[in-house]
Amino acid sequence: MRLFYSALSPFARKVRIVAHENGLSDRITLETASPFADEALRALNPLCQVPTLVLDDGEILYDSAVICDHLDAEGGAGLIPAAGAARRRALRLQALTDGMGSAAVAVVRERLRPADDQRAELIDRQLRAIVAGLDSLEAEALTAARFEIGEISAAAQLAYFDARAVVDWREGRPTLSAWFEVVARRESVAVTSAQLT
Ligand SMILES: N[C@@H](CCC(=O)N[C@@H](CS)C(=O)NCC(=O)O)C(=O)O
Task: List, for residues 34-82, the tens digit of each pLDDT value.
Answer: 999 889 999 999 999 999 999 999 999 999 999 999 999 999 999 999 9
Q: Which of 53, 60, 100, 105 to mutate to test the pocket of ligand 1 (most atoms within 8 A of CB)?
A: 105
Statement: residue 22 has pLDDT above 60: yes
How far apart are the CA of 127 and the centre of ligand 1, in A? 18
Would you say the CB of residue 36 lies under 6 angstroms from ligand 1? Answer: yes
SS3 for the chain is: CEEEECCCCHHHHHHHHHHHHCCCHHHCEEEECCCCCCHHHHHCCCCCCCCEEECCCCCEECCHHHHHHHHHHHHCCCCCCCCHHHHHHHHHHHHHHHHHHHHHHHHHHHHCCCHHHCCHHHHHHHHHHHHHHHHHHHHHCCCCCCCCHHHHHHHHHHHHHHHCCCCCCCCCCHHHHHHHHHHCCCHHHHHHHHCCC
The response to whether residue 48 sits with its C-beta less than 6 Å from ligand 1 reads yes
Q: What is the mean pLDDT of residues 131-157?
A: 97
Ligand 1 atom closest to the Cα of residue 51 is: 20
Structural domains for the chain = 2-79 (3.40.30.10), 84-186 (1.20.1050.10)
Q: Could you tell me the pLDDT band of residue 195, with boundaries at 50, 70 and 90?
A: low
Atom of ligand 1 nearest to the CA of 10: 10
Residue 63 beta carbon below 6 angstroms from any ligand 1 atom: yes
pLDDT at 197 (0 to 100): 41
Share of the chain above pLDDT 70, in %: 98
